[in-house]
């Protein structure tokens, strides 16, 4: 039980550290409905299930033997984050540019366009792909689960981790969403949404470049 608690505590700290998942949830919480954000969180949680199962099944050992697999995953993940970050950045710049031309009569049209965009967004897939885009998560779980991966660790403990960690991920991010979707924070986003999109897009691009640089370093 103490080992399980230790792993859950470590995951809690790592879960709220700055990264694509946290950034996506924070932005979504302030800019869209809680239902849509919950779909993103569910997607992220399913991604965690994938990483946990791969870790407990020994996939990290395969990556150690064939590092090109990790390099490929990092390049693909970086591409997805870059694509997402570029869309946020361009969207923020366009929104900022259009804000100079908007008048009171055009606000309804702007909100209508936002509603149409929200309807076309696949929030679950967005959360899932954002989480899966960072193959370093596998390395993280391999280190955190190191004690649970020993030969003496019971299958029951591994089953507990496979169930509890994804549930913990969902619950913690759900509480985080409730905080970030408070009226004052949403109101702040409405006034500064374009700047937040620009900053978010830039950070996602930085995450992508970071993955690509690490992939290149692995080659050397």
Going by pLDDT thresholds of 50, 70 and 90, the confidence category of residue 25 is very high
**Could you tell me if 173 and 25 are in contact, meaning their C-beta atoms sit under 8 angstroms apart?**
yes
Give residue 178's pLDDT. 93
Euclidean distance between CA atoms 51 and 24, whole angstroms: 19
Give residue 16's pLDDT. 81
Which residue did the predictor score with more confidence, 41 or 14? 41
Q: What is the pTM of this model?
A: 0.76
Dihedral sign (CA 77, 207, 20, 71): positive
Give residue 124's pLDDT. 93
Residues of the domain holding 19: 2-219
Q: How many domains is the chain partitioned into structurally?
A: 1
Going by pLDDT thresholds of 50, 70 and 90, the confidence category of residue 45 is very high
Helix axes 155-180, 34-56, angle to 10 degrees: 160
* Mean pLDDT calculated for residue range 173-191: 86
Torsion of CA 83, 84, 85, 90, to 10 degrees: 90
């Amino acid at each position: 039980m103490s080992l399980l608690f230790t792993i859950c505590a470590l995951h809690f700290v790592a879960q709220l550290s700055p990264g694509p998942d946290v950034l996506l949830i924070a932005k979504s919480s302030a800019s869209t409905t809680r239902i849509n954000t919950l779909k993103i969180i569910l997607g992220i949680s399913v991604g965690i299930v994938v990483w946990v199962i791969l870790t407990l099944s020994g996939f990290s050992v395969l990556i150690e033997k064939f590092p090109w697999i990790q390099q490929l995953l990092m390049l693909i993940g970086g591409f997805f984050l870059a694509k997402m970050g570029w869309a946020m950045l361009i969207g923020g710049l366009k929104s900022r540019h259009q804000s100079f031309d908007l008048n009171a009569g055009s606000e309804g049209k702007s909100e209508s366009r936002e509603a149409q965009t929200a309807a076309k967004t696949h929030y679950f897939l967005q959360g899932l792909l954002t989480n899966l885009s960072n193959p370093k998560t596998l390395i993280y779980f391999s280190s955190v689960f190191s004690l649970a991966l020993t030969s003496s660790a019971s299958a029951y403990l591994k089953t507990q981790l496979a169930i509890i960690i994804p549930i913990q991920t969902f619950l913690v991010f759900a509480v985080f969403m409730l905080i970030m979707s408070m009226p004052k924070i949403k109101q702040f986003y409405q006034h500064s949404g374009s700047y937040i999109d620009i900053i978010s897009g830039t950070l996602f691009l930085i995450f992508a470049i970071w993955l690509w640089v690490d992939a290149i370093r692995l080659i050397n």
